[in-house]
Structure 1
Amino acid sequence: MARPRTVHDVAAHKLCTGCGVCAYLAPDEIRMVDVLDHGRRPLPVLPIQPSRSTHTPGTSGAASALRCCPGVRLEHETSTPAPGEIAELRAGWGPVRAIWEGYAADERIRFAGSSGGVATALAAYCLEQAGMAGVLHIGARSDVPYLNETRFSRTREELLAAAGSRYAPASPCDRLDLVESAEVPCVFIGKPCDVAAVRMARQVKPELDARVGLTIAVFCAGTPSTRGTLEMLRQLGTPDPQQVASVHYRGNGWPGRARARLVDDPPGQERTLSYEQSWGDILQKHRQWRCYLCADHTGEFADVAVGDPWYRPTGDDPGRSLVLARTERGVRLVEAAIAAGALVLEPMPARILPASQPNLLSARGAVWGRLVTLRAAGLMTPRLKHLPMAGMWWRALSARQKFQSTVGTLRRIRRKRLRVRAELIPYGERSAPSDEQRSPVS
């Protein structure tokens, strides 16, 4: 089975998550770009100036960054529940110490958020009452609003401006230097793979570890490529993306509608699609390949994870969030935010988590079948340690689902051209692929 030598190999083999941690670790060697059909990907910066890169002397930053790459490695220290964890949830959902359901006390944040606005409200509490310096997260680019950029927010209003899910490629870890250089600890908000990358980076960068005050993960079903957003915009009646003034994927109610506004549209006018149309019919079909191999959709490496309580019927509800505290730090800060009136949450029993995300155990089992098939075919796969999957493949999947996870993967090898190196050309800079980009992966 092929093994990556650098993060560029990870991207070429279509295992990159797009988190951007490699660009943080080797800023003079790696830049993150948007690739239309793949997502955010690392490309070399030339000429290389290793004086600022934080890799081991004698090795390239692209090789050294592998040790923090969630595309090729996700590991818990153990799969055994620690004291204080909810033991019955450990195998399928990772460490969970407490579960709540509720919403942001600030009605503006609750309304703008994708569910109950808890991630934004908790981050605002950390800024205003817990003495933290800023929040590293993502938001829409001001010049190209259907693309994302990394932001470092210092106020509630800055956080509110970026509230709501962004179902498009993002690399929040590429600016972890802003956290590292802060005078006091900061908050990080990202997808589960982003938070896992932060955790690994903290293990090799003590100065970063000292400045991460809280990590918040948002539940994730996969990252669609920019091609997905462009298709969504087309179906919204906006065929020319250069005329787009704003794009929102959810929010303004739960789950909310996808919304786009053109530069010439009258104030208040928006073109909309339902969540079922935007995510279900369009965006989820454009997810990057690594998301099909993901065993952590609920932020197992975070202090706090936030998602949707899908066991509830949706409609005109302003939104509620499911909140998991995974560490003692997470429990402490959520409880403090409740006591301060920033969050309106009520404790929930363990059964609410699988009821809220009913498909994730079978999805985790299906990953095991895909990994076994890919390894048998000699293709590169991520190393997932202490994230149990095999038992779920046997117990949670029907015979048909087992068949799809194995034989279906063989078909995907051909359909998704997994034996061919990914063509990584920055969006807007199309050119003929090089010989290397045409060649099979090895």
Structure 2
Amino acid sequence: MVRPRTVHDVAAGKLCTGCGVCAYLAPDEVRMVDVLDHGRRPLPITPVGANGRGATAALDCCPGVRLGHEGSRPAPGEIAALRPAWGPVRAIWEGYAADPSIRYAGSSGGVATALAGHCLTGEGMAGVLHIGARADVPYLNETRLSRTPAELLANAGSRYAPASPCDRLDLVESADGPCVFVGKPCDVAAVRMARQVRPELDRKLGLTIAIFCAGTPTTRGTLEMLDRLGVADPARLESVHYRGAGWPGSARARLTDDPPERRRELSYAESWGDILQKHRQWRCYLCADHTGEFADVAVGDPWYRPTGDDPGQSLVLARTERGVRLVEAAIAAGTLVLTPVAADILPASQPNLLRARGAVWGRLTTLRAAGLMTPRLRNLPMAGIWWRHLSTVEKLRSTLGTLRRIGRKRLREPAALDPYRPPAQAGPTQLGSTQAGPAQAGSSAADPAQTTGRPLSK
């Protein structure tokens, strides 16, 4: 089986998650760019081979190729029944942010935003590293260090688009005090590995929050969604929201010249179900951690509840003692309104994620038999879930379907990592193309975040 030698091999082999930890660990060698049909990807600043020590060392912290727990047995204080399929869980709550504006803006109950805000105002932390929409290109993301609850609220809600929050972990290292990190499960897993080799980062991380994730759509997916919303020219886009303003909320877009009464909306089923989920990057199909097993706190949707008129609910998992302490402190401070729930609420809330984890075993087994590169997953049980929770049809899809994907997704060919340039900078013809063409190749015309090796930040 093929083994990567650097993070560039991971990206070429289509196993990159886009987290950006390599750009943080090797900023002189690696820059993160957006690739239209793949996601955020690391490109070399200097020619590969000229000075590749950083890109090689970063491989040790890459969640695209390695992920695992130290042990398989539940530690004291963990809920033993959940450990095999859901990772370490010490406490489960359901509820929402006490501030109605945060609850309304959030994708579910606004708990991630409210908890991060409590860490700023109630725990004296210095900042929150997270992602938000780029001011100049609202359908792309950038990494930000927010220092006030108002800044957090301005960026509340899911961003179903490529993001690399780990690329600016240097902002946490250089902060005046401990900080919160908010990201997808793979991002938090990368942070966990990076803090083991960067003592100052470890010292400055006050809390990690993971958002349940079913996969990251590429920028191609966002552009298709915008087209469905009637946005013919994304250069005129003022804002785009993927969820929020209710639960689960709708996808919304606004152009700079839209009249106040103009509404461009798609339901969650239309935006995620019909469009975005079909554009997920390949590594997401091989993900065994959709619920943030390496975080202090993980937050997701309690889908067992009916949606519609409900203003929003969050399912909250405390996975570490630190997570338990800070969630309980936020409850005591009146920032969060949470009620403890039974352990079986987790699988009832996310049955699709449980089956997705089982399907990964079938995919990995098939890919290894075909001699293709796969991630190394340790103490993340999957085979039993594949056997017990998948139907016969689902088992066949995970194996025979993967054989078909090898050809359809060209998994034996290296990914073409041409940087995407927004139409305002690349010209009006780019969006009409169905494939990333020569007009998107890296050059000095790429966006500012791509030419500096560091994304724009506040």
Deviation of 1:270 (Å): 2.8
AA matched with 1:303: D
Inter-partner Cα distance in structure 2 for 1:433 and 1:86: 49
Partner of 1:53: none
Are residues 1:15 and 2:22 paired?
A: no
1:32 aligns with: 32
2:83 counterpart residue number: 90
Which residue is equivalent to 1:271? 264
Q: TM-score, normalising length from structure 1? A: 0.95
Say whether the 8 Å CA contact 2:29–2:52 is kept in structure 1: no
Question: CA 1:263–1:394 in 2, change beyond 3 Å: closer, same or farther?
Answer: same
**CA distance in 2 between partners of 1:168 and 1:416 (Å):** 20
Q: Which residue of 2 aligns with 1:5?
A: 5
Segments of 5+ residues of structure 1 without an aligned counterpart are: 51-57, 435-442
Deviations 1:161-204 (Å, cap 9, x if unpaired)? 00000000000000000001112100000000000000000011
Please list the CA deviations of residues 184-238 of structure 1 after superposition, one character each: whole Å capped at 9, or x if unmatched: 1000000000000000000111110000000000000000000000000000000
Quote how far apart the aligned CAs of 1:240 are: 1.0
Q: 1:352-386 CA deviation, whole Å, 9 max, x = no partner? A: 00000012222111100000000000000000000
CA shift at 1:124, angstroms?
0.2
Corresponding residue for residue 119 of structure 1 = 112
Give me the whole-angstrom Cα distance separating, in 1, the residues matched to 2:251 and 2:354: 28
The one of 390, 402, 427 equivalent to 2:395 is 402
Aligned residues: percent identity? 80
Alignment length (residue pairs): 427
Question: Aligned AA for 1:319?
Answer: G
Q: Distance in 1 between matches of 2:328 and 2:261?
A: 38
- Say which SS state the counterpart of residue 354 (structure 1) adopts: helix
- 2:361 equivalent among 358, 368, 391: 368
Question: Which stretch shows the higher mean deviation, 38-47 or 136-145?
Answer: 38-47
Amino acid at match of 2:438: S
Q: Which residue of 1 aligns with 2:316?
A: 323
2:412 counterpart residue number? 419
Question: Matched residues in 1 for 2:263 and 2:385: separation?
Answer: 43
The 3-state SS of whatever aligns with 1:138 is strand
Q: Is the contact between residue 150 and residue 171 of structure 1 (CA under 8 Å) also seen in structure 2?
A: yes
Q: Which runs of 5+ in 2 are unaligned?
A: 427-436, 442-458
CA distance in 2, matches of 1:59, 1:289: 25
**Displaced runs of 4+ in structure 1, greater than 2 A?**
267-270
**1:102-251 equivalences in 2 (<5 Å):** 102-251=95-244
Q: Contact conserved, 2:419 with 2:440, CA < 8 A, in 1? A: no
> Partner amino acid for 1:4?
P
Map of 1:101 onto structure 2: 94
Match of residue 73, structure 1, among 66, 77, 83 = 66
**Equivalent AA in structure 2 for residue 285 of structure 1:** K
Question: 1:23-53 CA distances to partner (integer Å, 9 max, x unpaired)?
Answer: 00000110000000000000011379x9xxx
SS class of match (1:115) = coil
The CA distance in 2 between the partners of 1:404 and 1:199, in whole Å, is: 33
Deviation at 1:267, TM superposition (A): 2.9
Question: 2:453 — aligned with what?
Answer: none
Q: 1:268 deviation in Å?
A: 5.2
Quick one: distance in 2 between partners of 1:190 and 1:360?
A: 18
- Which residue is equivalent to 1:347? 340
Cα contact 1:423–1:433 (8 A) shared by 2 = no
Q: Deviations over 1:77-105 (max 9, x none)?
A: 01100000000000000000000000001
Partner of 2:429: none
CA RMSD of aligned residues (A): 1.5
Is the contact made by 2:127 and 2:147 (CA closer than 8 Å) also made in structure 1?
yes
SS in 1 for 2:131: strand
Q: Which moved more, 1:326-335 or 1:399-408?
A: 399-408
Q: Structure 1's 383 and 47: CA in aligned 2 closer, same or farther, altered over 3 A?
A: closer
Question: What residue identity is the alignment partner of 1:431?
Answer: P
Aligned mates of 1:311, 1:268 — CA distance in 2: 34
Matches of 1:247 and 1:11, distance apart in 2: 28
Q: Distance in 1 between matches of 2:216 and 2:205?
A: 25
User: Match of 2:250?
Assistant: 257
C-alpha distance in structure 2 between counterparts of 1:155 and 1:361, whole Å: 36
Distance 1:108 1:361 in 2: 32
SS of 1:380's equivalent in the other structure is coil
- The answer on whether the counterparts of 2:92 and 2:340 sit within 8 Å (CA) in structure 1 is yes
CA distance in 2, matches of 1:211, 1:199: 13
| Distance in 1 between residues matched to 2:180 and 2:440, nearest whole Å | 40
Aligned to 2:109, what secondary structure does the other structure show?
Answer: coil
Deviation at 1:433, TM superposition (A): 10
Partners of 1:267 and 1:301 in 2: CA distance: 43
Instruction: Give, in whole Å, the separation in 1 of the partners of 2:259 and 2:92.
Output: 43
Q: Which residue is 1:431 aligned to?
A: 438
Cα distance in 2 for partners of 1:212, 1:268 equals 44
8 Å CA contact retained: 1:20, 1:172: yes
